[in-house]
Amino acid sequence: MRVPFLKAPSLFAQTGARVRNDLRNAACVRVLLVFALLCVAPPLVAAPATYTGEAPVNSQSDAERSGAIKNALAKVVIERSGDAGILARDEVAKAVAKAEQYVLQYRYRRDAVVDPASNAPSMQLILVAEFDRAAVDRMLDGLGLGSAQTSAPVSAAPVDHRIWISGIRSAEDYARGMGYLARQAMVREAWPLEARGDGILVKVAVAGDFSRWLARLGEEAVLQVNSANPPIDGIDATLVLQP
């Protein structure tokens, strides 16, 4: 019996055709799998925009956290309104007291600081709170603060300075002092580093001459300069919050 013989070109052609069919089938399977995954995958939801506020704390206790979240929101409200005395309005103070309604998340940060009394290095615990921007904006609009404008910036490179502010005896004092710094035209940034007793250590980024800025502080009688050249390393000026 004669065995049929396939010529080499015919054999290779059949093999190549089967390979191409297998590749096409595999490609179709991959496309179907990707389509199925897209159908069942949950939609991506953009994270809500936030306002960030910070406040120093002595511990992570519930009481400390509650007060710090209020202080952090108070700072946001003061910065957005540009009015250091805005918390004196009853309706604003009541809104800030409900800070827990606006906070989305919070975390703690430890900053290296220098004790102004002993000049010894230490760590300060800072609560950083993220507030729902849309909810805060609605609250500000309801209080008539939505269109508030801040002071025009000063055209100069900011330089960091450390100032010690005493006379901070309550959350309202803290908010008033930090709010006053935030609305200063020469101050680009102000953030607390340490809280001790009735005082806070604050780092301020001042655009322009630091001595000139200190001289202007007395104009509104909110912060009084105690010493423009204190004999304490790491402290550029000491101030007192006026009652």
Give the pLDDT band (50/70/90) at residue 15.
Answer: low
Q: According to the model, what pLDDT value does residue 89 have?
A: 85
Give the pLDDT band (50/70/90) at residue 235.
Answer: very high
Give the pLDDT band (50/70/90) at residue 68.
Answer: very high
Residue with more model confidence, 29 or 230: 230
Q: Average pLDDT in the 29-35 region? A: 42
Q: According to the model, what pLDDT value does residue 102 have?
A: 93
| 32: pLDDT strictly greater than 70 | no
pTM above 0.75, yes or no: no
- Domain for residue 12, yes or no? no
Report how many domains make up the chain.
1
| 48: pLDDT strictly greater than 60 | no
Q: According to the model, what pLDDT value does residue 218 have?
A: 66
- Domain for residue 40, yes or no? no
82-120 confidence digits (pLDDT tens): 777 788 888 889 999 999 999 999 999 998 877 777 778
| 184: pLDDT strictly greater than 90 | no
Q: According to the model, what pLDDT value does residue 69 have?
A: 95
- Domain for residue 162, yes or no? yes
Q: How far apart are CA 156 and CA 208, in angstroms?
A: 6
| 136: pLDDT strictly greater than 60 | yes
- Domain for residue 17, yes or no? no
Q: According to the model, what pLDDT value does residue 38 have?
A: 34
- Domain for residue 4, yes or no? no
Q: Average pLDDT in the 139-167 region? A: 72
Average pLDDT, the chain: 77
Give the pLDDT band (50/70/90) at residue 29.
Answer: very low
- Domain for residue 180, yes or no? yes
Give the pLDDT band (50/70/90) at residue 61.
Answer: very high
Range name among 28-37, 145-154, 167-176 with the lowest pLDDT average = 28-37
Q: According to the model, what pLDDT value does residue 34 have?
A: 37
- Domain for residue 88, yes or no? yes
Q: According to the model, what pLDDT value does residue 179 have?
A: 81
Structural domain for 137, as ranges: 50-241
Q: Look at the alpha carbons of 66, 173, 108, 141 in this order and tell me if their dihedral is positive or negative.
A: positive
- Domain for residue 183, yes or no? yes
